[in-house]
Structures are given as structure tokens and as C-alpha cells.
Chain A
Amino acid sequence: MAVIENNPLAYPVSPKANRGGLKAGQNRIGLLMLLPAALAFAAVILYPFLSALGLSLFEYTVVMMEPRYIGLQNFAKIATDADVWAAFWTTAIYVALTTAGTLVAGLGWALIMNQPFAGRGVLRSLSLLPWVLPSTVSAFIWGWIFNSRYGVLNAFLMELGVIDFPQAWLSTPQGAMLAVVLTKVWLSIPLFMSFFLAGLQSLDKEQIDAARVDGAGNWAVLRDHILPHLRPVLIIVVVLGVIGNLQQFDTVYALTGGGPVRATTVLSVEVYRRAFEQWDIGFASAVGVLWVCSLLPPAFFYLRMLVKGN
């Protein structure tokens, strides 16, 4: 019978094994595997951000190919620039309306899709269509819906007798804002619906049945059972919605170009216009930095939730 040697030093080991043991080796492999993602992050996110941060400290317009260092002057100019503050205000309105609208519509649609009925699977799949479509295509579709001459909306409202002649929706500040908000809500419903639907799958049906036996109506069931159950999902959806809507550019630019006048000029459009229509790269970078700062609180909140495992 073989005798097991208790002294580990007696066993032959690889000379490489003394570099911190198995855990250190695993750590090294982990870091190596992280390297491609870290490089990609550095190339497509960190470098452009640091570059923009640097440019925000320079005066740099198309007529001067060499940037001139001016310190924080661009930020000082922002403080007195009414257009930038108007863009902040427009962004706040846009984010609030789109997030709230998507929340209500996404939850409502998820509740419908959670009910048993024939063709539910097909309808659930079709519900993902707005998510699949490129956002600029969606913007053009909505542009046609709101078009003053050929738009479906005008035709529909005139048919109902709500309006007597076609309205130029995209030419009024309120109409244009409504259009960009509806487009974004429509685009985001599938994502929100998926979150809520996943949450609803884990809801205890017996609890709902018991509540109904006790005489609870639909509103009471929603308020006292479904919403409390969905609370973690609601929080995460709101945070992600705020972040996504703060970043929104393509649908707004494709649909209204930030107009009429400046009615839908959100921060992303403002940065684009300053950089590529007014060729003031330094100032645009400074606005961009503030825009990123406005994204930090919801992003921090979201990361905190992830770290805490919620």
C-alpha cells in the first residue's frame, strides 16, 4: 500500500508555481481576458472622451487649424449662453416626457401581453418590431405620419372631424416636441415591455387570485400587488430610460433637426450643431463635457445598483 507523503515540499513542482500560486495565475488569465475589452473601451470611449475634455479647454474653429489654449473660457461662455441653457431645459422636458411615456406604455403593453389570449405569441413577437427597426428609419416613418400634406395623422383627425384642415405639426414647438417624444416612446416600448414581462412572469398568481377572491379590482391588484412586485424592475427601467433618453440624437435630428427654430434642440443636437454647423469644436466639446456630467448621476445610481446586486 502506498504511503502518502504529508510534506508538500517533498513533491516535485514546476519552477513557475512559486509566482503566487493558483489564484495569482487565475488573476493573470482574468486580466488577460479583460484586455481586449479594456483596449476597445480605451479606444472607442476613453480616448474620445479625454480628447473632448482636452478640446474643451481650447479655442478651435474651422478658420484656425491649430487649437489655442484658453483654459476654462469655453465653460465661462456657456454660463452666459442662453441657447445652451435652453438646450438643457429642452433636454429635461424631453427626457421626462419620453421616460414617463415609455414607462406607462411599456407597462400597459406588458400587462396586456401577460394575459392569456389566442395569438399572444405572435403579437409579442410583433411588439419587438420597433426595436428591430433602425431608429432613423423609425424617425422617417413618424415624419411621414406627422407630415402636414401627406400625413396619416392629419387624414385620420380630419376623418374624425377633430380638425377642419391639415395641421403643420412639425412646425409648431409643441407639435414637434410631441413628434420626437412619441417616436422615442414607440422605439423604447419593446425594451421596457420585455423587462416588465420578465418581472410579471415571476409574479405569484395565487397571490393575485387570493386578492381577487378578497374583492380586489384591477386597479387594486395593480397598485397593491403588481407594482410592488415590479419595483426593482421599475427602478432599473427608469434609470436606463433616463440614460438612454439623455443620449438620444438620431431620431430627434432626423425628424426635426432640432427645430422648428430651436424647439427640439436637445443637448446632443446642440453639440452637433455647434461642432458641425458652426464649426466651434472647442465650445461644442465644453457643452459635451457638461452633457456627460448630466449623465453621471443616473449612471452612478445604476452602477451602484449593479454592484449591490439589485
Chain B
Amino acid sequence: MNVMKNMIGAAATALVLGAGAAKAADLSYMSFTYAEEPNKAAVQATLDDFNKAEKLTVEPLGFAWGDMQKNIFLRARSKTLPDIAQLSERWLPTFAALDNLVDLNTVYGKDKLEAAFAPDALAMGNIGGKQLALPLISGSIGMVANKEVLAKAGIADAPKTIEDFKKVMVAVRDKVPNSVPYTMATKNNGSILIDFMVWNWVHGGRIIDDSGKVVIDSKESRDALGFMVSLMKDRLAAPEIDRPDSRRLLAQGASAFYLDAPQTRTFLRDFSGKGEAFDANVLPMPTPVLKSGDKSVSVQWGHLLVQFANGGKAKATDPADKFLTYITSDPVQTTYTLKMSALPVTKSARSAVANDAYLKNWSAATGDARRNEVGIWSNAADLTNIIGEEVQGALLGQKSADDAIKSMQTRLTTSMEKAKKSE
């Protein structure tokens, strides 16, 4: 019996100590950037500086980008949500129903936020008039080229129309051995969605209109998917490519083009092994258009910060809110965002970095940055899977572009109807 008592005593002590250790930090911050090796140091430096400035400690929780949504969902179920979490802008609608998500308008005041943040960046965190997230970094997903590869293929200027684009890709294919001219995403539904959405816009199509009606079954969307299939047939794109593969291939001089956010520069520096010396090869360029005179398109992109608190209530003096204030302050926004190769989110910080050549070029290449038309719906994950599967089926020759578009229309419509019923 004594042994049993001792064991229970030891277990209780361990629990108390464990709980003490878990509460050692003033706030917890779940971040996917912290889990990315090239970017971890930049996040850690920000957390250390915050500790020096506010005498508050942050417990960083790093999870891979692909695991973030799952972790937040599971933590919501087990009531162990972090104080602050980093989200990709397209995930916010999925979590908007969580009852302990803080409306940051109630913490900082709507007017103050509007005065401080750039409207396009602030809008990414706004759903139904509630400011459910603050932007951390912003930009767009557009086309990036490797100048060195283009030079090897004898190309001096970035292509402007998709006709030119194809000609340049053929030159790269024929003159740069073992290259994939355009590392279009052909694997991972989330990545495939972005490439398809961009080419669909280029061809004048849409997936879902503003009212939630699925409108993919159109000539424009068929043309877009047909164009992507033709790239595969002509060996201008390749199977088994996800965004990380694209980054590596472009960094290694085995690819000329791919779609990514401005953060790509940081990845390319790391993956090329050349550091900042590789910057000279990175060319942000307007996405080629269908015909001369069309406006180039890109996808709005950004990282957001959400706050979780009991009952969704918080005040500006809480440690988590002090952290939000700090991380969106000018000193952080002008250094952290540059390390991330992304645009700051506040008006003052954007003015401060206006002369950064890379960001300037990126902004110039952005063209018409449109909101992710799938990511704004609560069933975005399901929609993404459907589009990814159908597009991949067409790209790999398992079905015709026509069949894939028809199937997409049916499946997406069912998903949207189901989501409306759930709400």
C-alpha cells in the first residue's frame, strides 16, 4: 500500500511540475515559419527581441505548413489552443467558426487598425466585418523566372503572352538538358489549385462566383485546363512536382519558371547554396497573358496571425496582444518581412521599404492580384481536393480536360450545397 501511495505521490508531483513547465512561458505561438529551416532563425530573433522589449516569454510551437490546420483543429477539440497561431490567408474561413477566436476590432479598435494597416493586407483577416486575424506579411503569388536558365536558352526578355511563354519554354527544353521548363504543380492538391486558378483567370474563367455558385463548366476553364495538359504533352512541365520541388529545381538551374509568393527569394537563396549571390538570378515577372493588352493576374497571398482566448475575449494589455502589437510594429515589419522577402503589412513599414529593389520589382509584376476564390469558403479544403484531383487526372492523362471540368462542376456544386446546409 505504501508503494502505491509513493507512486501516486510521485505522479502528482510530476504532474504539478509538468504543469508548471508548460506555464513557464507567458504566451504560446504556433508557427509554420518557425518549422522552416531557412526561416527559423528570423522567427527566433523576433521572439528574443520581444522578450527584451516586453520582458515576456514566448513558447514557439513549430509545425510544418501542411500540418498546421490539423493541429489547430485537434487542439480546438482538446481545448489546448495556443495564444497566437500563424495561418495562411486561405485557411481563415475554415476556422472562422471557432468560438474562442478573438475579433481583434474589439481589442484594438477598428479605426486604429484601419489607420495602421494597408487595406489590402487588413482585408485578408476580415470575415463578415470581424477582424479575425491581423496580417503578418503580405504579397502575391505570381510568376518567378530564373534569369540564368533563360540566358542559357538564349532568351533575353521575359515572355508576355502565353504564346511567347510556350516558345520560351520550348527553347529551354531544347537547350538546357534535363530541365523542366515550367515546374507547374502536378502533385499536392493545394499546390495544383494555385496553378490551375491562375491559368483559369488568364483564360478568363472562374471557379466559383461571388455568390457561391460554381461556374467552372465554361469554355474558358476548358481552355485553361487544355493549356495545362498541352504543357505536359509537350514536356514543358513534368509529373511529380510540388511547390518545394519547384523551388529546388529553379534554385538548381533545372527550371526556368514557376509560381510562388515573394518569399521564394529566401528559399532560393537556401536551396541554391549560394545565399544572397543567387538573388541576381531571381526574376519576378508578370504572369503571361492570353493576348497582348490583357492585364496580368496573380493571387493575393499573406500570412495571418489569429488570437485564441477564452470566450473570444481579450484586451490590448494581455501578453498575446502585446505580442501582436510588437510583431506588427515598424521595427519588426521593416526587418522581419525583408528577411522573409515579403511585403510589410502596415502603411508606415511599406513606405519604409519602398526602395527595396526586389519588393519593388515584385510589386510591379503583381498586376491584378485577386483574392483566392476557393480559400474564402469554409469548405475550402474539400474544394481544393476536388479541383486538385480532377486537374491531376487530366494532367496525367487519366481523363480528358472536358470530363475533368464536367466532373469538377458536379462535385464542387455538391460540396458547396453541403457546406451551406452545415452553416
Residue positions of A touching B, CB distance < 8 A: 59, 61-65, 147-149, 168, 170-173, 257, 259-262, 273, 276-280
Known: A148-B240, A259-B187. A279 touches B98 (CB 8 A): no
- Residue in chain A with minimal CB distance to B390: A261
A63 touches B378 (CB 8 A): yes
* Chain B contacts with A in 38-97, Cβ cutoff 8 A: 69-70, 73, 76, 94-95, 97
A170 touches B422 (CB 8 A): no
Question: Counting CB contacts under 8 A, is B116 at the interface?
Answer: no
CB neighbours of A259 from chain B (8 A): 187, 389, 392
Known: A62-B73, A147-B240. A262 touches B378 (CB 8 A): no
Q: How far is the CA of A271 from the CA of B403 in the complex (A)?
A: 27
Q: How far is the CA of A59 from the CA of B97 in the complex (A)?
A: 15
A65 touches B97 (CB 8 A): yes
Question: Counting CB contacts under 8 A, is B417 at the interface?
Answer: no
Known: A277-B381, A277-B385. A261 touches B393 (CB 8 A): yes
CB neighbours of B393 from chain A (8 A): 260-261
- One of A65, A171, A257, A280 near B396 (C-beta < 8 A): A171
CB neighbours of B178 from chain A (8 A): 149
SS of A interface (majority):
loop
CB neighbours of B180 from chain A (8 A): 149
A278 touches B378 (CB 8 A): no
- Extra contacts, 14 of them, besides A63-B422, A171-B240 (Cβ < 8 A), are A62-B94, A62-B97, A63-B94, A63-B419, A64-B97, A65-B97, A170-B240, A257-B188, A259-B389, A260-B187, A261-B389, A273-B385, A276-B70, A278-B379
Known: A61-B422, A63-B97, A279-B94. A168 touches B378 (CB 8 A): no
B378 touches A62 (CB 8 A): yes
B423 touches A63 (CB 8 A): yes
Interface string of B398-423 (1 = CB under 8 A from A): 10000000000000000000010011
A171 touches B239 (CB 8 A): yes
A260 touches B392 (CB 8 A): yes
Question: Counting CB contacts under 8 A, is B99 at the interface?
Answer: yes
- Residue in chain B with minimal CB distance to A147: B240
CB neighbours of B307 from chain A (8 A): none
14 inter-chain pairs at a CB distance below 8 angstroms, sorted by A residue, are A59-B422, A61-B422, A62-B97, A62-B378, A63-B422, A64-B97, A65-B97, A65-B98, A148-B239, A260-B392, A261-B392, A261-B398, A273-B385, A279-B382
Question: Counting CB contacts under 8 A, is B186 at the interface?
Answer: yes
CB neighbours of B97 from chain A (8 A): 62-65
A261 touches B396 (CB 8 A): yes
Q: How far is the CA of A223 from the CA of B283 in the complex (A)?
A: 68
A278 touches B382 (CB 8 A): yes
Q: How far is the CA of A200 from the CA of B379 in the complex (A)?
A: 56
Min C-beta distance of A229 to chain B, whole Å: 46
Q: How far is the CA of A168 from the CA of B99 in the complex (A)?
A: 46
